[in-house]
Amino acid sequence: MGAKWIETLTGSLEQKKQFKRDKARIEALPEPYATAAKAIQRYLTYYGGVTDGDTLLTMFGDSADLWERAAADGTPVRAIVGDDPVEFAETFAQAYTGKQWIDKERARLTKAIDDVERTERR
């Protein structure tokens, strides 16, 4: 019963374990892949704004897979991210749909304008 209560407050413990495993995979990468992967994942955390734990885990797991494969193949970092690493990261994030932080604000803005419109009609 205690674990269910804690998960209600903090989220899935299994998701946290998976996140730590994926983070450890990134930490274990040789340089320069570890530095590049950490930078991309940091950007994804801020840019992606994904609030759905399953989607976020899939995105981070796929990112770890990508960087592990690149390291194993010796693929240059620039060959992966291209000339614009921001564009690469944003395109990567767009492949993962899920509820985002901004969705709440979009709904709040729409409601506010709808409320204003109803008030104006009176």
pLDDT band at 47 (very low <50, low <70, confident <90, very high): confident
Query: Position 77: which residue type?
Result: V
pLDDT, position 42: 92
Q: Which domain holds residue 10?
A: 2-121
Q: 71 and 30 in contact (C-beta within 8 Å)?
A: yes
Spatial contact of 29 and 67, defined as CB atoms under 8 Å apart: yes
Q: What is the pLDDT of residues 18-45, one digit of tens each?
A: 999 999 999 999 999 999 999 999 998 8
The answer, yes or no, to whether residue 115 has pLDDT greater than 70, is yes
Contact between 78 and 36 under an 8 Å Cβ cutoff? The reply is no
Residue written as tokens 């390291």? 71
pLDDT at residue 105, as a whole number: 83
Pick 7 or 39 by higher pLDDT.
39
How much is the pLDDT for 71? 98
Helix spans in 1-122 (H) = 2-10, 13-27, 33-48, 53-73, 77-81, 85-94, 101-121
Task: Give residue-wise pLDDT tens across range 63-107.
Answer: 999 999 999 999 999 999 999 999 999 899 888 876 666 777 888
With 80 as the cut, is the pLDDT of residue 48 above it?
Answer: no
Q: What is the pLDDT of residue 45?
A: 85
Number of structural domains found in the chain: 1
Check residue 119 and give its pLDDT: 87
- Indicate which CATH number applies to the domain containing 52: 1.10.1900.10
